[in-house]
Each structure stands twice: as C-alpha cells, then as structure tokens.
Structure 1
C-alpha cells in the first residue's frame, strides 16, 4: 500500500466514513507491517517523525506534551502507531468487558446526536419564524426585500422592490438566532455571507441605507464581507468593534468564553475596544493581517499568529483542538451536542488535541477520550459528568 492510500484510509476511518472492508484492510495492513518492519523503514512511508506527525496530528490526548514526547522518542515509532490505531479501533477496545462503560451510560450517550441546520428569524414586527421548519422558497417580504430559503438551507435576502428599499427612512432590524445544537448560513442584503455557529445571534438592518453597514453579533460567526469601498462593514460584539470594507474573518464572542477572539483569513481588519475596566483606561485599536488573531478581554488586548484552520473548523464541519484545555474543548462540544457538562476532580493541567468530524455522534468522541484512561464520563439524560 502506498503512502497516499494509507493516509486516505486513516482520514476516512477518523471521519467515520470507512467501510467494514476498508477497516479490515487498514488493520490487516498494519498487522503486516508489524511482522515485516523493514517495509516501514523504506522511503515509501517516510521517516519515523513523518508517520508520527501524520497519525498523532489526527488524534492525540495527553496530560502534558512534555511528558509524552520523550515516550515517543524512546520507543520504536511503529509502537506509537500501534497504540494510536488501537485506541481508534473502538470496536476492539470498547466492547471488551473490562473496559466498557455500564449499559445505562452507553444507552444515554447513544441518544445524543450531533447538531444541524437550525435557526429562528425574528422579523422587524416581532414575528418569529422557524427556518428549520420553513419550506424552500419565499418566506416573507418586507421593506422592498424578499426573504427566501434556498434548497441547501440558506437564508437569502434579495431586492424585490428597489424603490421601496432605497426610500426606507429609519433603520429596521431583523435578527437570526441559532439554538444550542444549531448552525445556519445567511446572505445579507448587501451580499455579505455569514455563517453562525451554535448558540449565536446576528442583528442586522433589513436595508443598509446608513453610511455604514453595522451588525451585532453574539456567539460565533464567520463573515465573507461583500466589498464596498464607500461603506464600512462594522461588527459589534461585547467590548469590541470590528471595521472592514470587505474581507473574510471569524469572531468568537461567546459570553462564557474568557476573551473575544477575532481571526483574519484574508484582507485587513481594524479591531477597537469599546470599553475598558483595567487600570489603563485607554481605548486601543489594532490592525490584523491574514493569519493573525486578536484576543481581547477586559484587561488585555493582544495579537498573535495562529493556525486559521483551527479557528474556522466549525464552519468546515470539524472540531480541531490544538493542545486545548479540556474545559475549553468541552464548552465547544456542549454547544454542538446540547449537553450540560460538570466536573469531578482536578482538570487544570489536562490538555486535549485531536480532530473530529462534527457529524460524529457524541458517543464516538467520548469513547476516544475515555481511551486515555485519564478520566471517565457519566451520562444521565443530557447531563455529562467528567470524573478524574
């Protein structure tokens, strides 16, 4: 088997898309490599470090990366591959009597499914529409604009009466909300595309008639702003104002997160504080370049280079955790799977790394986490307790 085929099989397995035949092929190939280790030492599969990076880059859970690294270097690299593949082989690991969680917990976890396209639209007159239940096609018409739902579930605004739209006086606002376990995409009247993550909302004018295009975000949203050199696009979040004429960026501004994080993928944006409670009351502004992220809270305002793929993983249908503390990771999972998470024990120094498909059931992710033997999960209804 060639390197590209091997990587492809691993990717399909981790995404839950490998057929039974492909799983048999993957594990039988690995068994053959154990018997003929010389085949792994050829340039076909690359150096040990490359194979290690390829596998551990997909799923690794550790308490302290500094403790795990020496172990990887100390043992033959095919042993590392073996341990990771065994952990991922959920069937072999979790149906063994000594490792399996109790039946009641298994049944409770199996009922918790991944989120999906769910949202509500609140019109200017207060009418609340479920976009989840709405049929494809025209939903409503207001202020010279037609609201419709596309076949792939997007909310689209189009001008139906240009004269009425342009003559609008006072700004009239609509609001779109996603529940816990929901996501949605909206095309704004100016052509800007916005993806909302779970438990998020976007308030926006029905028509952008003012000198600026101003919207308000809570939660998390990814923006592809339509270019207009005459009208700035402004996104207001708690403690922050983002200003841009047209570009792509992600804002994470959940109330339960310690900071507002803005990640730029292309173009340039200006980030400004809108309040300050620390000893230094000066309101600061920063400009971001592609690949940079601003981190803003009540006391600090910093900019750093980041992996943008991790910042927009949710939009691309994945969870990507890079040495993230377990509580931060579980907050993301709780919003998508609509669960309440509690902890028993000390989790301060537990960091988590891995990549998962957001279409996976919660049971799949919990089984992988429990395979570390560092903690276990107790599930009752939608309440999940992590026990150290």
Structure 2
C-alpha cells in the first residue's frame, strides 16, 4: 500500500464518500501496524482537510474517548470539550487507540453523510445516558464453590486447585499453570462471563479459550485419563493445543459434541439464535449430536460450518462460512453485513447488557458494514438512525421502530 493509495481512502472518508466496500478496506488499512507511519503522516499533513469538512473533533473525540477509556486503560476520561489537535490526539492515546477513536467517530459521520447527501455534518449530542460497551469481566467458580470476580481480582496467583496454580496475567488473562498431573479428585472449574463481559483463559493443557458475553466453559484443573473434556455454553473461540494421545472433546450444552486433536474453531450455542453453529478455522473437527453414535456426525474442513437446531439432532453443513463475520466478536468488531436485523440486535443486547424492544414488526432491512465493539451505545444509536430508523433509549431498553 503506497501513501498515495492510503491518502485516497482518507480523502474519501473525510468527504463522506466511501462506498461500503471501500470502508471495509479502509478499516483494515488503519488497523494494519505496517501502515502506522503513513497514517500518522497523513493525519498530520491533512489535518486542515478534516477541519474544513466540519469534522468536529473537539466534541466527537471527547465523547468517544469516554466510551473507550476503560477498554484502552486510560487513567482518566475527557470531561470537557476543548480544541483537539493531531499532536495531542496521537500522543494521548497512542496510534492503535487513536485509530479506534477515529473509526468510532467515522461510523456516525459516514452513515449520516450517506443519508443527507452532504459532505459532512457536525455531530449533535444525543440526550441519552452513556452506556459503556462490554469489557473484561468474568466469574471463576472453583471446585469447592468459591467464586472469584476476575475483573476485580489482583494480578498474580489468585488460587490453587490441586497441582494447578491459577494466575491472572498483566493482560487480564487467566492461566492454569499445571505442575504435573493431579492424582487425586478431579477438580472442575467454571469460568462464566455476564452480559457485557468477555474473557480469555488458558487451560492446563495450553489450549486458549476466548469467551464472548453471557458464555461459560467448565473444565478440570488438570487433564487426566484418555481425553480432555470441557463443556461450553454461549459463544467461545478455541485454539486447541495439539496432543494426539489425548483428543480434545467439547460438550456443547449437552446437545452436541465436538471432537478435536489440535485446531482452531468457534462455537455459537446461544439458545436465542436457533442453532448451534460450529465453525472451523483451521485443522479438523468432528461434530455430532450428543445422542448420536460415535460413528455418526460430520467432519469439517477449514471454512466449513456445522449447524444443528437446538431441538433437532440433524446436522447440516455450510461449506462456505464467512469466517470474518464469525470471528468478528473475538476481533472486537460488530459485523453487520449479511446478518438479519434481529440477530444483530441480539449481539447488541448481550454486549451492552440491555434489552431491545420493537415498536411494531422487527425491521427487515439489512444493515451493512462494521463497527468497533469499543464504542458507547450512543454511537450505535447514531448508526441505526442513519438507516432511517426510530431509535430511543429508555433506562436500559432500546426501543426500535420504523419512522
């Protein structure tokens, strides 16, 4: 990517003229560390362009900074509107976080300019209370019933389960540091995330688990025997440590079984989504109904997705799953393109810990594009209003209807 090509996307963005396809490309370019120096140079050089196009950084960045402050671990949030210059913008937040803020502002400016036909419009304050996005929150339940709120737990060793020391790292990840195999009672632990929470866990065998909001994984503090068996609910992404002598087995809500040797995959088993979706990223997995014979089931290749209705044992295979969309939550993104409106709103409910209520029928229109999951709910409200919807927030209920 040359500076001239990147400049093209910046200028189209500043003028509100990006197409849906260009916006996806532009977002990827901004997030690529290889483009860091060019992005900084363009922001510095073309700052007057942003101001001339009425991009009100003084209000918009102050508002969005508050929404992402907890995610990027800022010491304090901006509490007053003051002139914003490129040097403070980048020095205060650092390059990666500044891009997050820039994209959060752009989600509103882009859709608004598309709707009004203007090059740019200044952001107007929304008279709704600020609801922050989800964050690293989870509860760890030990074998004796002891519960540890992980978001408030100090970093370092937080508990001991048999031969495994449970450690909270500087990155707020939980690691089970197993010293050999447990010879005594199997100690089952459960990590669960609330609505508005997510967390990352490394199991005793080195398998890494990412939990989306309202999800859980139950596992032994030390793996013994001929296999490694865990149970999950909600949505999880797993990178399984290879061990041909101990196959990795996932029990999905007691309804489906996923057998693994070493691979990466995503499981979505939210009961309100209608089907259990197991999507293979790399390696190989076998998916079968919990009541099926071991010889049954389907074996997936990378890029394929197994679908099983919650109350039906039959499994169908989607041969060309959209991996970018499936993994969007793990990568900190809301992906709208190709999803039903109701499915998007279910993601929103879980992530912001709110309720969605519809005035009349559920809108049938298709949303497009993507948005960073680090923005406040007010930014999402602006995004939805940009599609011509009536959107109103009362307490923690988001009311949506056609205008």
Normalised TM-score (structure 2) = 0.72
Which residue number in structure 2 is paired with residue 378 of structure 1?
A: 392
CA contact (8 A) 1:15 1:360 kept: no
Determine helix, strand or coil for the equivalent of 1:364: helix
CA contact (8 A) 1:59 1:353 kept: no
Q: Distance in 1 between matches of 2:183 and 2:220?
A: 14
Q: Residue deviations 1:52-111, cap 9 Å, x none? A: xxxxxx979xxxxxxxxxxxxxxxxxxx9962796895x53x53xxxxxxx8xx333x42
Question: How does 1:114-153 map onto structure 2 within 5 Å?
Answer: 114-153=133-172
Q: CA deviation at 1:21?
A: 8.6
Greater RCO (CA < 8 Å, at least 6 residues apart) = 1
- How many residue pairs match? The answer is 323
Which residue number in structure 2 is paired with residue 288 of structure 1?
A: 300
Q: Residue deviations 1:292-327, cap 9 Å, x none? A: 111111345221111211111111111112221111
Q: Distance in 2 between matches of 1:133 and 1:87?
A: 46
Which residue number in structure 1 is paired with residue 114 of structure 2?
A: 83
Determine helix, strand or coil for the equivalent of 1:129: strand
Q: CA deviation at 1:379?
A: 0.9
Find the partner of 2:236 among 221, 224, 229: 221
Quick check: which has more Rg, 1 or 2?
1
Q: CA deviation at 1:14?
A: 12
CA contact (8 A) 1:198 1:336 kept: yes
Determine helix, strand or coil for the equivalent of 2:259: strand
Q: Distance in 2 between matches of 1:296 and 1:87?
A: 46
Structure 1 gaps of 5+ residues are 31-57, 61-79, 96-102
Normalised TM-score (structure 1) = 0.75
Q: Distance in 1 between matches of 2:143 and 2:298?
A: 34
Q: CA deviation at 1:345?
A: 1.6
Question: How does 1:1-388 map onto structure 2 within 5 Å?
Answer: 2-7=4-9, 10=13, 11=26, 25=49, 83=114, 89=120, 91-92=121-122, 95=124, 106-108=126-128, 110-160=129-179, 162=180, 165-168=181-184, 170-238=185-253, 239-275=255-291, 284-297=296-309, 298-299=311-312, 300-304=314-318, 305-347=320-362, 349-373=364-388, 375-388=389-402
Structure 2 gaps of 5+ residues are 14-25, 32-38, 55-105
CA contact (8 A) 2:277 2:305 kept: yes
Cα distance change of structure 1 residues 122 and 87 upon mapping to structure 2, 3 Å threshold: farther
Q: Which of 282-291 and 13-22 deviates more?
A: 13-22
CA contact (8 A) 2:157 2:166 kept: yes
CA contact (8 A) 1:275 1:283 kept: no
Cα distance change of structure 1 residues 85 and 234 upon mapping to structure 2, 3 Å threshold: farther
CA contact (8 A) 1:343 1:386 kept: yes
